[in-house]
Structure 1
Amino acid sequence: MENMWLKYTLLVEPEIEDLFVAEVLTSSYTLGWIEPQIEVLTTENGYDYAENTEGPLAGYLFEPQHDREEEHVARLKTYIQRWNGQVTIKDVELVAEENDSWKEEFREVKIGDWWVAPTWTDPAALESARHILWIDPGAAFGTGYHGTTQDILLFLQEMDLEGKQVIDVGAGSGILSLYCALNGAKHPVWAVDINPQSEYQVLVNATNNHLPDHAVQVIIGDASEDGVKSQLPDQADVILVNIGGDENVAMLPMITERMAPKGTLILSGIVEWNRDAVIALFEQAGFQVEKESQHDEWVTVVLKNIA
């Protein structure tokens, strides 16, 4: 007999999103995802995002059906009362259990000498793999599919990371941070991301890769802001920035402050139509382009600190 689940569409006020997510993750409900009201825009500086901050976010919760639908809904109404009207029920739908079919979207991918694979990968698919980075994306961005991630990972495989202090800005699910931690970089590797769910997923993936708890230090926030910047090490031998053209430029003060002499910077998330403008600013700050690659419209650049 097919198992049925209740899918709840909730409206969540933006100011309590983090609190809502943190509390739901410890509840009996299964959090699907939070869907912000964001529109992707193409600008002269790359891609930008327009967010409607006036309206609520859509959040999706799931639970298996054991009782009548009305009883489940009544319990959910009682549960969300703790948010004093800032979380409301928009829709309730009965859906068939998908089991693990969603996992089919996340498959193993070979990047240079390494495979990036979710933990549920069929062992037969990795029989010939010499090096495997186990990454479950969860609610944090980072599956290994995006060209920017792949190009940075290819460049990292050309580098000697032994004993190097690394800062990874835009860490997502931790692919680049964990690769560095596994390949000789000084522990901890510092992983920074604005997504609060990144911390949990990076730690899960560190465990998946048999790394100790201290291997990666996750910081949630904007690395260009003083409060976050102050938590980072005074100097880094390698800084990875995989966010976007304008965001890369916003990180320039932090990078120049924290980059060790002769240190290496890898920038990605740059689009081809603002490549020259971004690189010009970094060259003025004392960096020299050493290598470059392009994946579709996305440009990745390796720079050396020569200041």
Structure 2
Amino acid sequence: MENTIYIEYSFSVSPLQPATDILIAELGEAGFESFVENETGVLAYIQKEEFEEAIMDSIEILKNADFDISFEKKEIEQENWNATWEKNFTPIQVAEQCMVRAPFHEKPDVPFDIIIEPKMSFGTGHHETTHMMLQFILDHNFEGKTVLDMGSGTGVLAILAAMKGARSVDAIDIDNWCYHNALENVERNGVDQVQVFEGDVSLLGSKKYDVILANINRNILLADIPTYASNLMANGTLFVSGFYEDDIFAISEKCTSCGLKFEKNLSRNNWVAVKYVF
């Protein structure tokens, strides 16, 4: 695979919320594909070949006097992203049962040991949404189930579902780098029942799943929940995350209109993950 060049924007944001959430949403609409939130703001990445200076003119929050947002930009190659990640990455333990770690970390004594090299992909367990989705998976019975991981990123959720006994798992992400990275991580963890695909909900067709996992942003979830519902088995379960507590009403309203019932939500630093059932 060719070594893609990315433009990295480092945004300093004050106050952090809700400005960071709005900024990420607007950047996503403008073509930025990867985000890493930190203590001062957010890092945002877009492929150099997709970038034009005029893109920043469309980011309305940068013109909002209620927020102080500054930024710097630089070019970054994928291997540089990985080197930066390796320097800063620490293992993540979830509920005393699951460890998400890099290949160079010591093997832990836990039931579920997941080895991840995220590169330019999302999903190491550090972000609140991934952590909560891992919690939900740990608490759910996946034995013999068919599973969809939508917006799969590194593939970490699909991998844990497979480790918990899922019969088959489809992992789908629209980003080419996420697709290749998930393939690598699936092979690295020896979960042969996981199939990785590049694309969006248009790939689903009429296929049915017992469980659907979707850790994506609010707007994509609202657009795609009707499709998820149509692809769920009777008595199926939908786990969603990627949004804030204030968004639960809108997400639940959409789920209810599609025949899904709210069952439980987890909350972590104002982020939420929610379980719905048919």
TM norm structure 2: 0.73
Query: Of the candidates 48, 62, 75, which is equivalent to residue 58 of structure 1?
Result: 48
What does residue 43 of structure 2 align with? none
Distance apart, 1:36 and its partner CA = 6.9
Query: Of the candidates 237, 240, 265, which is equivalent to residue 264 of structure 1?
Result: 237
The one-letter code of the counterpart of 1:120 is: F
Q: For the aligned residues, what is the CA RMSD?
A: 3.1
Alignment partner of 2:234: what SS?
Answer: strand
Taking a change above 3 Å as real, the CA distance of residues 127 and 264 of structure 1, as seen in their structure-2 partners, is closer
Distance apart, 1:263 and its partner CA = 0.3
- The alignment status of 1:208 with 2:188, answered yes or no, reads yes
- The alignment status of 1:198 with 2:178, answered yes or no, reads yes
How do residues 231-250 of structure 1 correspond to structure 2 at under 5 angstroms? 234-250=207-223
Distance apart, 1:203 and its partner CA = 1.6
Unaligned segments of structure 1, at least 5 residues: 1-21, 26-30, 60-90
Question: After superposition, what is the alpha-carbon deviation per residue over 1:261-301, rounded to whole angstroms, capped at 9, x for unaligned?
Answer: 11000011121222112111211221111111111121110
- The alignment status of 1:229 with 2:204, answered yes or no, reads yes
Taking a change above 3 Å as real, the CA distance of residues 101 and 49 of structure 1, as seen in their structure-2 partners, is closer
Distance apart, 1:98 and its partner CA = 12
Unaligned segments of structure 2, at least 5 residues: 32-45, 50-73
Distance 2:22 2:257 in 1: 18
- The alignment status of 1:287 with 2:268, answered yes or no, reads no
Distance 1:149 1:179 in 2: 12
Distance 1:261 1:133 in 2: 30
**Structure with bigger gyration radius:** 1
Distance 1:150 1:48 in 2: 21
Distance 1:180 1:149 in 2: 13
CA contact (8 A) 1:118 1:136 kept: yes
CA contact (8 A) 2:122 2:153 kept: yes
Taking a change above 3 Å as real, the CA distance of residues 38 and 120 of structure 1, as seen in their structure-2 partners, is closer
The one-letter code of the counterpart of 2:276 is: L
Distance apart, 1:109 and its partner CA = 0.7
Residues paired across the two proteins, number: 229
Question: After superposition, what is the alpha-carbon deviation per residue over 1:25-74, rounded to whole angstroms, capped at 9, x for unaligned?
Answer: 4xxxxx5x512779999599995133557xx9537xxxxxxxxxxxxxxx
Distance 1:98 1:265 in 2: 32
Runs of 4+, deviation exceeding 2 Å: 35-47, 49-53, 56-59, 97-102, 126-131
The one-letter code of the counterpart of 1:273 is: D
Distance apart, 1:177 and its partner CA = 0.5
CA contact (8 A) 2:112 2:160 kept: no
Query: Of the candidates 122, 146, 158, which is equivalent to residue 165 of structure 1?
Result: 146
Distance apart, 1:100 and its partner CA = 5.4
CA contact (8 A) 1:148 1:242 kept: yes
Distance 2:270 2:246 in 1: 8
Query: Of the candidates 276, 298, 304, which is equivalent to residue 249 of structure 2?
Result: 276
Query: Of the candidates 192, 214, 218, which is equivalent to residue 196 of structure 2?
Result: 218
What does residue 137 of structure 1 align with? 118
The one-letter code of the counterpart of 2:100 is: V
Alignment partner of 2:26: what SS?
Answer: strand
Taking a change above 3 Å as real, the CA distance of residues 98 and 202 of structure 1, as seen in their structure-2 partners, is closer
Provide the identity percentage.
28
- The alignment status of 1:48 with 2:38, answered yes or no, reads no
- The alignment status of 1:183 with 2:160, answered yes or no, reads no
What does residue 152 of structure 1 align with? 133
What does residue 300 of structure 1 align with? 273
TM norm structure 1: 0.66
Q: Which stretch shows the higher mean deviation, 166-175 or 272-281?
A: 272-281
